[in-house]
Amino acid sequence: MALIVHKYGGTSVGSPERIKNVAKRVAKARAEGHDIVVVVSAMSGETNRLVALAHEMQEHPDPRELDVVLSTGEQVTIGLLAMALKDICVDAKSYTGWQVALKTDTSHTKARIESIDDEKMRADLAEGKVVIVAGFQGISSEGDISTLGRGGSDTSAVALAAALKADECQIYTDVDGVYTTDPRVVPEARRMDTVTFEEMIELASLGSKVLQIRSVEFAGKYKVRLRVLSSLQDGGNGTLITFEEDDNMERAAVTGIAFDKNQARINVRGVPDKPGVAYQILGAVADANIEVDMIIQNVGSEGTTDFSFTVPRGEYKQTIEILTKLQDSIGAAAIDGDDTVCKVSAVGLGMRSHVGVAAKIFRTLAEEGINIQMISTSEIKVSVLIDEKYMELATRVLHKAFDLG
């Protein structure tokens, strides 16, 4: 039969009863003759609890020690799931990330996977065992416990599927697939049977919470067949992330609407308009391992320019502090920003063959009195930065404007 990797998120393993339900689902797949590797997250809310504990010890927790603390959440889950499977007579064995071993670089709390040793897992699978691996974690090149960042369990699952050359990687969540937008914001949102990797990468990077962007990138790079399913209900085929474009793609300019509250805008005003200024600003931010997203540079008067960009909201204060220290050296007149903004995006392969998509977005928002602060585009997406209070309204009206219900 097939080798399948299952991944279960925090909600799916959020209580002993739900862990037992996961065990039953895994046992059923094993009884069908499949070899099963299971990747799990920490129980729902556990990672937040551990982060809070760390902050009680240090205002800015040491990254290495924070990884030691955070990795314990998944360790609890793998042990409990192994017990639940053994209780229903399914042989199982649990592994932490370092036991596998999933090797990473040394960027604590944001580590990148470098290699995976699949020898132990293959030996266990050959003996008929279900292999259970802690998601979100690995071991660095220096031998320290490392974590992959929030949502890293998805990345762990896809990376393991790639290493094992699995037939399919199934991501089980609290929703039954990928929707045209968040159904909690737009009840008319529709589940898609398939979505292309290109579209899913854009949706994930733009705020869709169903899959983490790095997991989709891994799947695309290593051609891992990826499917999103619900762990809270039986049946259904979920959404398949596919490499093939659907015959109907050309008839739909937009596939989905994504939104992201985790945004903050930084403004560096009145800097000299000369070569190297952008590097001076963004180089310092990059050195602090802070990701920059949307960027706008406006040429001003008298040889100066204004430079604006967005960063994750949680790193807003740190970015302001970094640039304030550089203000005199870069010759900036002022540094300010806003952490009450959000990004709303329209995504679709159909944009390649449809004109006027951006104009339709701008007109739709203008009709609702929503001001656009920044714009970013690619071949298959248009993103706008707006005031956070308009996020749900913008999502609803764009979803309706492109007939996605």
Dmax over Cα atoms in the chain, in whole Å?
77
Closest CA to 263 of 177, 344, 150: 344
Residue 13 DSSP one-character state: T
Q: What residues in the chain have per-residue pLDDT under 50? A: 249
Q: What is the structure's pLDDT at 217?
A: 87
Report how far residue 22's alpha carbon sits from residue 130's, in angstroms, rounded to the nearest whole number: 13
Neighbour count for residue 374 (Cβ, 10 Å): 19
CA distances from 367 to 30, 45, 108, 153, 361 (A): 54, 40, 46, 41, 10
Q: What is the structure's pLDDT at 245?
A: 59
Contact by Cβ (8 Å): 346, 378? no
| pTM for this predicted structure | 0.80
Q: What is the structure's pLDDT at 249?
A: 45
Contact by Cβ (8 Å): 10, 43? yes
Q: What is the structure's pLDDT at 400?
A: 96
Contact by Cβ (8 Å): 159, 182? no
Q: Where are the alpha helices (H) located in 32-71, listed in sequence order?
A: 46-57, 63-70
Tokens describing residue 388: 């956070």
Neighbour count for residue 228 (Cβ, 10 Å): 25
Read off the pLDDT of residues 220-258 as tens digits, 9 standing for 90 and up.
889 999 999 988 877 788 999 987 655 554 556 899 999
Edge-to-edge order in the sheet of strand 113-116:
113-116, 102-104, 137-140, 145-147
Coil vs helix vs strand at 339 = strand
Contacts of residues 17-24 at CB distance under 8 Å and 24 or more positions apart, as own/partner, are 18/231, 19/77, 19/80, 19/81, 19/84, 20/84, 21/231, 22/81, 22/84, 22/172, 22/231, 23/81, 23/84, 23/85, 23/87, 23/88, 23/90, 24/88
Report how far residue 297's alpha carbon sits from residue 336's, in angstroms, rounded to the nearest whole number: 15
Closest CA to 41 of 80, 77, 87: 77
